Chains A and B, each alone.
Chain A
Amino acid sequence: MKGIIKKISQINFGLMSPEEIRKMSVIKIETPDTYDEDGYPIENGLMDPHLGVIDPSLRCRACGAKGGDCQGHFGSINLARPVIHVGFGDTIHKILRSSCNSCGRILLNDVEIEEYKAKIDALKENDESINDIIKEIYSVARKEKCPHCDEEQEEIKIDKPISIIEGDYKLTPSEVREKLERISDDDAYILGVNPEVARPEWMVLTVLPVPPVTVRPSITLETGERSEDDLTHKLVDILRINQRLIENMEAGAPQLIVEDLWELLQYHVTTYFDNEASGVPPARHRSGRPLKTLAQRLKGKEGRFRSNLSGKRVNFSARTVISPDPNISINEVGVPEMIAKEVTVPVHVNEWNIDELKKHIENGPDVHPGANYVIRLDGNKMRIYDETKDLILEKLEPGYIVERHLKDKDIVLFNRQPSLHRMSMMAHEVKVLPYKTFRLNLCVCPPYNADFDGDEMNMHVFQTDESRAEAKSLMRVQEHILSPRFGGPIIGAIHDHISGAYLLTRTGTEFTEEQAFQVIRKAKLPLPKRKHENWTGKELFSLLLPEKLNMHYKAEICQKCDECKLMSCEHDGYVVIEEGQLISGAMDEKAFGSFSGKILDTIMKEYGPEEARKFLDSSTDLAISGIMKAGITTSTNDEEIPEEAKERIEDHLDNAEKKVDKLVEAYENNELEALPGRSLEETLEMKIMQVLGEARDKSGEIAESYFDMTNHSVIMATTGARASMLNLTQITACVGQQSVRGGRIDRGYIERTLPHFRKNELGAKARGFVHSSYKEGLDPIEFFFHAMGGREGLVDTAIRTAQSGYMQRRLVNALQDLKVKENGLVTDNRGMVIQTMFGEDGVDPAKSDYGKAADLDKLIDEMRVKK
């Protein structure tokens, strides 16, 4: 909060030399034990207080700071014999292979050396990766005779991960180290080891740094038992073997025993660094669980990098179940009082707000607009209690910081995972409400992809004025009504909002003046003049359209008649808005639905986000009035059709099934003609699928012809509020063909789907055609096939989310550094130009009109209207 004082400008990587390790070490660790019987750390042991302390009551012996203030200090272990660092096994092998066995020079002649050196220098100059050239050198620098001393070269092999073999003799780490020591700095440079920061022999360890206890804290279980960190366990193993090795060497033990111990030491050091190295059995805990050592701590999704450095846990956040509230604005979020009292906003006390903040302090932590903490001028944080309240109030002066409760109009960040796009995190205004769920307006469900079947969402409270300002101007919900993906609205009406608006605006809806004014009042619209007669729904809706709005389009309910009757459409399918008056047509998904709302889109683009927000908010209220006046409900009765219709459908389906039988017969008699490029079987399948598909569509059409707009299910389906006509016909007429892997069902028993059929039966029913409707009910066989199709869908979704998630991670990772420069270039962080102008015209898709900077025809129409 104090702002950044220091900025890290770069990080240099390098290897540590043994001297450096010793220099930074505060103590030599020699005893393989941690604590003595009394529970005190043993001197020169792994928990030596020189290494730093965790307990705030103790002091660090090295720096004298209290636990918590001291970040810890490294110790070191002097290894009795050198061991190879696992991570470098491969590199050591490649370096030895490319250098002379006897003189240690690189196996390149002087000309080549100069050549490669120049190449590496050039690459480094340009800040480019030298990996490829080093790889090339490793493969070129393999000669049978050393160009410098003419010595024949013995082949050097590697037994992964760390055994280096020369000819038939396995080199000891000491020998490896000696060989590496002979390589000159100049040669090392060409072999990919930068002599400025690393020497090849440093890849073989003689001293092992011991991380401070803060890196490997021990935990005390409830039973009072101490449990050590995995790293400590591993270090104990290393120390133990190291001590034994020293003792044996001092006692002059036989070479064989020394070598065995040495190997064991190598094993322990190897697993200390990486417990998943191939070819090395992982070191295990007593319980059989493999230890989590250094490499495992960093690696992967749960590793340090991805879970602690790229993503961090935060304070001032809250999470709870979400539920809908159409009465709050899309910009708002309902926050339970319980949460509002827990998460706080720091406010600097000044002359102008001191009185207000005093009220907060007076309320204390338990009464809603209260405060929890006060930070004094000296930076000390004090919790507000009933007892301390008065004292704090007395001392409060400008410069103090009060951590007050969240209250209405505060800006917070609201988020739902998976955060797939930037609209998954938007800034909302707080509205403190009773009960325990977050409340959100239904229009923001599509961008968050939220529903209310138990979804939870997170809220974060901004802690600085800068962040609040930024959030308010860049992240507010109303700024995100248009999606940058396709330049159309992503926030918009759904479900009852749409059907409600339809019921309100369709021809025939009328309100008495009294009712109309109630509706207008509820929608918080400016009151119009009285006109002493009934109001139509269209007139009411026109009240929230901007005055100069002109548009006409075909609505979602458009029946796609052969000839459009335009304004006189009896289905309300042609919308005409003139000078802000809804002349004809009804509101539906095309008007203000998410992804397709045309009116919303136009208002957003021509009148800006503020107007668009007001439009959405008021239209919600109007839609509620509309839906409450008409009343909407649905049940299977909506899908009832007369007996005569059922017969027609039945006839139709029977016909289709007969047609299928005929096709099968033709196939069996070899009379079927194969389509070009298809086998006979494939042709048959395609034809049957076609016949059955048509049969379902046709029976659906029959059923549809008995439906009309008085039917609530149909209203929902045709206005685009929810469900589709297909769903309705599946309930009424025929469910249709079930499929697995894109074809009819053909799996299960040998040569048949179920034992109820003959082998190789190809008829409609035998291959998963569901003749019944949902309303009639499925017979057991149909039910089974239906479940097969349903299961495939579930498996599909599960796999898809995993796959697309990974693809998205890769895409974001690859592109995240790109930005637009002041001169319009799109560059990456190295300054490399990717595009000279974003998208070839420099237009931001989020500000465009479905991808175009301007819709020319719209502009021309407008121009002509103006005249």
Chain B
Amino acid sequence: MEIDKKIIDKVEKIAKKKKADFPESYIHDIADAYVRRELTDSELETLIVRVRKAYERARVEAGEAVGTVAAQSVGEPGTQMTMRTFHYAGVAELNVTLGLPRLIEIVDARKKISTPTMAIYFEDDTKEDEEFVKKLANYIGKSTVNDILKDFYINYAEMKVEAVIDEEKIKDKRLDLSEIIANIEKPFKKVVTIDGSKLTFEPAKQSLRELRLIADKVRDLQISGIKNIGKVIIRKEDEWIIHTEGSNLGDILKIDGVDKARTTTNDIHEIETVLGIEAARNAIMNEALRTLEEQGLSVDVRHIMLVADMMTSEGVVKSIGRHGISGEKSSVLARAAFEETGKHLLNASIRGEVDKLTGIIENIIIGQPIPLGTGSVGVMMKPSKTKAKTKTK
């Protein structure tokens, strides 16, 4: 949805004139409505005034406990989610962790997620090119010798393994025979003899065990694919998309023809290392929102945004829990009240830590009003000048 820059400027100007301090997204929405609903200029003006009123009314109040509300809003739907680990999300052929386990995975900021997956998109000039996409899919996806065999046979009589490579399958996979042969030759230098597409392996030690071992090794030898990526699935939706099992954002983005802007992974740590902390923050938001929406639960983005911002506010992705945010709180009492009570108290004593009691839990513990909401303000009173009057009544 492209909106003319001129219209945006116009809306912005009127907004300024009407003293409406809108965020950018509001200007866009209003400009969009202006075009879509074919508003007259005076209508636009009244609309802006009305939106301003609504906006001012809807602003958060100072002292609002936005953190707690966000945490509750994300946590409460958790009880209504399914536990079923696997579900088919969009792509029927791929298993993706969803539901509560996935949400926990996200807030835990796990380094190793249980089902990493990527969606690879292509640039405009390649996205309709089936041949290119198929070739790339084979380059990305993991294939082993087993996938290109025509015939495989363990010859126990002569103690050797015979394998015939299917050239058609190679063609289908858009691979190159000589490259594959070279690939196979490298690790099996001493035992392999090559005759065209026929390979014969003779183990150095003449034992059954050795023979079988070699047979397995040959079959499992990876001949193409990118590290950490397993199965790939090519799908034609509006355009060609490759879905992968496993994820390696860094290497995929280096490939020509891949759309760097839309290609994504669900591995937040990978996004952090490859694209940086801002991208990781957006990834947390998108993943959490998607997980919740998939379960039919509506949670306002702002709550998820706050969780994501909290997790990434120090420049690295930190987990929600004792190893992350909660373990790094400034207050000793807050940490002790959460988990690992003894450790925190003992450590605080030798370090000579000082608890300034600025947080919530600390003040509850010592029995003082909490510095939030109505607890964060006081009441000032001007002594009445008309004291005498009230007395006479």
Q: Which residues of A contact B (CB under 8 A)?
A: 4, 7-15, 87-88, 91, 127, 129-131, 192-194, 196-198, 203, 274, 295, 298-300, 303, 305-306, 309-310, 420-422, 470, 474, 484-488, 675-678, 686, 741-742, 796, 799-801, 803-805, 807-808, 810-822, 824, 826, 828-830, 832, 834-835, 837-848, 850-851, 853-854, 856-857, 859-860, 863
Contacts and interface: CB of A to CB of B under 8 A. Distances in A.
Contacts of B368: 4, 7-8
A628 to B, nearest CB: 33
Contact of A194 (B306, B346, B352, B369): B352
A10 B93 contact: no
B354 A821 contact: no
Contacts of A801: 79
B50 A485 contact: no
B133 interface: no
B23 A837 contact: yes
Contacts of B64: 819-820, 838, 844
B309 A800 contact: no
B299 to A, nearest CB: 6
Contact of B51 (A11, A847, A853): A853
Contacts of A813: 326, 338, 361
Contacts of B309: 826, 834-835
A804 B78 contact: yes
A817 B355 contact: no
B114 interface: no
B89 interface: no
B342 A814 contact: no
A486 B25 contact: no
14 contacts: A4-B369, A10-B354, A10-B356, A13-B348, A197-B352, A677-B93, A796-B83, A796-B84, A803-B83, A814-B324, A816-B361, A830-B330, A839-B306, A853-B51
B320 A810 contact: yes
Given A815-B68, A829-B330, A474 B79 contact: no
A800 B81 contact: yes
A267 B303 CA distance: 51
B33 interface: yes
A812 B57 contact: no
Contacts of A820: 60-64, 66
A8 B320 CA distance: 29
Contacts of A203: 350
B337 A829 contact: no
A28 to B, nearest CB: 24
Interface stretch (B118-126, B176-184, B248-256, B371-379): B371-379
Nearest to B366: A8
B54 A853 contact: yes
A300 B341 contact: yes
Contacts of A839: 300-302, 305-306
Contacts of B372: 819
Contacts of A850: 298
B330 A127 contact: yes
Given A87-B346, A303-B341, A816-B65, 12 more contacts: A88-B346, A804-B78, A807-B103, A811-B307, A814-B71, A814-B325, A817-B358, A818-B70, A819-B66, A826-B309, A839-B300, A841-B26
B354 A487 contact: no
A310 to B, nearest CB: 5
Nearest to A191: B350
Contacts of A422: 68-69, 72
A487 B73 CA distance: 11
B371 A829 contact: yes
B76 interface: yes
A742 B301 contact: no
A820 B332 CA distance: 23
A834 B303 CA distance: 13
Contacts of B353: 12-13
A851 B301 contact: yes
Contacts of B234: 676
B351 interface: yes
Contact of A815 (B51, B67, B232, B345): B67
Contact of A800 (B83, B107, B330): B83
B202 to A, nearest CB: 33
Contacts of B70: 815, 818
B310 interface: yes
A811 B43 contact: no
Contacts of B93: 675-678
A168 to B, nearest CB: 29
Contacts of B84: 741-742, 796
Contacts of B83: 796, 799-800, 803
Q: Which 3 A-B pairs have the closest CB atoms?
A: A839-B302, A818-B67, A808-B75
A841 B23 contact: yes
A476 to B, nearest CB: 15
A812 B61 contact: no
Contacts of B352: 12-14, 194, 196-198
Contact of B374 (A15, A474, A844): A474
Nearest to B243: A677
A8 B364 CA distance: 12
Contacts of B47: 856, 859-860, 863
A838 B350 CA distance: 39
A610 B354 CA distance: 48
Contact of B299 (A485, A837, A841, A842): A485
Nearest to B141: A677
Nearest to A841: B23
B77 interface: yes
A508 B345 CA distance: 72
B305 A840 contact: yes
A11 to B, nearest CB: 4
A15 B67 contact: no
Nearest to B37: A860
Given A11-B355, A13-B353, A814-B71, A859 B50 contact: yes
B194 interface: no
A820 B302 CA distance: 13
B336 to A, nearest CB: 6
Contacts of B307: 811, 815
B74 to A, nearest CB: 6
Interface in B89-114: 92-94, 100, 103-104, 107
Nearest to A303: B341
B233 A676 contact: yes
B241 interface: no
Contact of B341 (A88, A299, A805, A826): A299
A528 to B, nearest CB: 33
B360 interface: yes
A569 to B, nearest CB: 26
B299 A486 contact: yes
Contacts of B350: 15, 88, 91, 192-194, 198, 203
A303 B345 CA distance: 14
B156 interface: no
Given A486-B298, A808-B72, A843-B302, A814 B25 contact: no
Given A88-B346, A808-B76, A811-B74, A816 B68 contact: yes
A335 B222 CA distance: 73
A677 B372 CA distance: 54
A484 B341 contact: no
A835 B306 contact: yes
Contact of A807 (B26, B65, B78, B324): B78
Contacts of A421: 72-73, 76
Given A799-B83, A830-B358, A819 B92 contact: no
Contacts of B364: 309-310
Contacts of B155: none
Contact of B306 (A11, A129, A838, A854): A838
| Residue among A196, A305, A306, A486 with max Cβ neighbours from chain B (10 Å) | A305
